[in-house]
Structure 1
């Protein structure tokens, strides 16, 4: 089982907290002190197993999670965890208290006691078993209990977000090959050397490419979306940007491809009743004739014909809807399977 989903959202509100506690027991204990006993706790955990590692995205209300000596005795898992939250995290460790700003990755070991307090948040967690990632042991143990700051921290945060975006679409074969790529990227961020940075170059490029893609999506309809704009917003030089997108056909082609894909998706969405010209402008094509010509060259039909074909019966592709197997009903079972 490589994709696991656990959600309390379909449960009665009175049962949600108990179900969420059961999912994390005995890896973590959850403390809801101060919260009304019958208040709901709508939360979801998605875990992807990837060739010996595990990656999770957790959306949950405010909580306090503890891993005390009693939890470690019951569950001696000592994986490293690289976390990233949208909100500030306050973590108490044996060596002191760690305050991690929003958007900064941090590294903990499940082999050590910890207490974490956070507001409602969406968090990413990368679980790295010691046996599978033994080559990283010295570096990860050196920085455990710390946040990763500066440029390495920003790069690692972007990489975790990239994994969250990519994991649902990866094939089983691609997931099996992930540990090598993860090792190279984590090593380059927590203990950067020239050799490790070179080993992680491909992963670094994927992370930078994701940043470029996010800027393009955010500013898709802007007439000022240019190579200069991208350089400024992603923080790289013109030569770096052109090298990064050389394999994608160049900067201008890459932007245009995203605009065409967005326009095609809108035109073939039966719920989108905007005029063709409005869709074109929203996707960055401000000249209708240019849009029509470019669209036909890419897809072999005019925008109007594409919309008509979709409305004549073309259905969207199936959505990924992973289900949790009956044999995996807790985070502990998932981590033990790594």
Structure 2
């Protein structure tokens, strides 16, 4: 992983360095900021390889950014760009008087060799993830994408939710982002489907939909694991799929929905037991979605080889002592 921060530079040098090294050289864009605001500029950046793609994270002071015809000629890139605007809304002009408003949380997708100009709506900075993916015919399933300008995917569309769930999974821990290399093609194909660039009835699209729905189901599961009443039916209903389809999503993983949920609850409880020693074991168990203390003790000991009380004295590891496949189902 490549990381950079302007903190090590003199205040008067920070913006110019960001413009030249991060903007023009790395991304092939033009960055502009009023001169009287440059001394207060700050920015942080990281780049992580995810297969052949590159995942970038940026947090910086607000500025205007554009990719002009001269930028494209200077730094051409036959790649697709999938961006997640975490914070920092603004207006994006993609030419021919086409201006769209990009809100917090929006996903923007398009070809990197097309011009745009973005202007922030606020002055309190931005947080942003960008996935740059080299184009191959296999990746885009032969679709024409050179004329696909960067546009925000429809916020309330089911396909956007699937792409977003995969993006959020990838960026949850950047040290592990490389593990999601196999999902990059799925994200691109779902975004192309959302843009109407590929046909839905292709094996590759079916595989992408399966991966996207699995990530979305897991996201709901992790979000609501504290609810003892969380059921597969509730997750299926939220995703707009059948209960049978939901269970089919988990079959290839080797863990059923119930076991995945129990494993997530146990992991949350394991961390809380060590970090929140002022809370009782029973309180932590209930807050992590267990509705039976006896069941909690049983599955915890079966998975970690220790009691919840013993776990309060030992820092949690990334994985339990036993394999995830040995996690018992809480019933």
Task: Normalising by structure 2, report the TM-score.
Answer: 0.77
Aligned residue in 1 for 2:92: 91
Q: Deviations over 1:234-272 (max 9, x none)?
A: 333322222223345332222111111111222244x64
Aligned residue in 1 for 2:24: 25
Structure 2: stretches of 5+ with no match in the other structure: 319-331
245, 249, 268: which one pairs with 1:262? 268
Structure 1 distance, partners of 2:217, 2:162, is: 13
Structure 1 distance, partners of 2:241, 2:158, is: 13
Q: 1:132 to 1:138 in 2, by over 3 A?
A: closer
Structure 1 distance, partners of 2:274, 2:249, is: 31
* Alignment check: 8 A CA contact 1:8 1:16 kept: yes
Aligned residue in 1 for 2:222: 217
Aligned residue in 1 for 2:66: 66
Q: Deviations over 1:25-65 (max 9, x none)?
A: 24122112286343242x32222223432222222332211
Q: Deviations over 1:82-138 (max 9, x none)?
A: 223135441123322331443443334443332112343322222133468785674
Q: 1:180 to 1:66 in 2, by over 3 A?
A: closer
Aligned residue in 2 for 1:106: 108
Structure 2 distance, partners of 1:272, 1:207, is: 37
Q: 1:279 to 1:296 in 2, by over 3 A?
A: same
* Alignment check: 8 A CA contact 1:245 1:251 kept: yes
SS in 2 for 1:245: helix
Aligned residue in 1 for 2:160: 153
* Alignment check: 8 A CA contact 1:136 1:187 kept: no
Structure 2 distance, partners of 1:218, 1:51, is: 28
Structure 2 distance, partners of 1:35, 1:79, is: 35
Q: Which has the higher contact order (CA 8 A, sep 6+)?
A: 1
| Aligned pairs, number | 306
Instruction: For residue 171 of structure 1, report the CA deviation from its aligned partner.
Output: 5.2
SS in 2 for 1:236: coil
| Correspondences of 1:192-207 after superposition (within 5 Å) | 192-196=198-202, 198-207=203-212
* Alignment check: 8 A CA contact 2:247 2:256 kept: yes
* Alignment check: 8 A CA contact 2:94 2:149 kept: no
| Correspondences of 1:108-123 after superposition (within 5 Å) | 108-118=110-120, 119=122, 120-123=125-128
Structure 2 distance, partners of 1:264, 1:284, is: 13
Structure 1: stretches of 5+ with no match in the other structure: 318-338
SS in 2 for 1:91: strand
Q: CA RMSD in A?
A: 3.2
Structure 1 distance, partners of 2:308, 2:239, is: 32
Structure 1 distance, partners of 2:109, 2:316, is: 44
Aligned residue in 2 for 1:288: 293
Larger displacement relative to structure 2 (273-282 or 107-116): 107-116
* Alignment check: 8 A CA contact 2:166 2:183 kept: no
Structure 2 distance, partners of 1:221, 1:131, is: 43
Task: Normalising by structure 1, report the TM-score.
Answer: 0.76
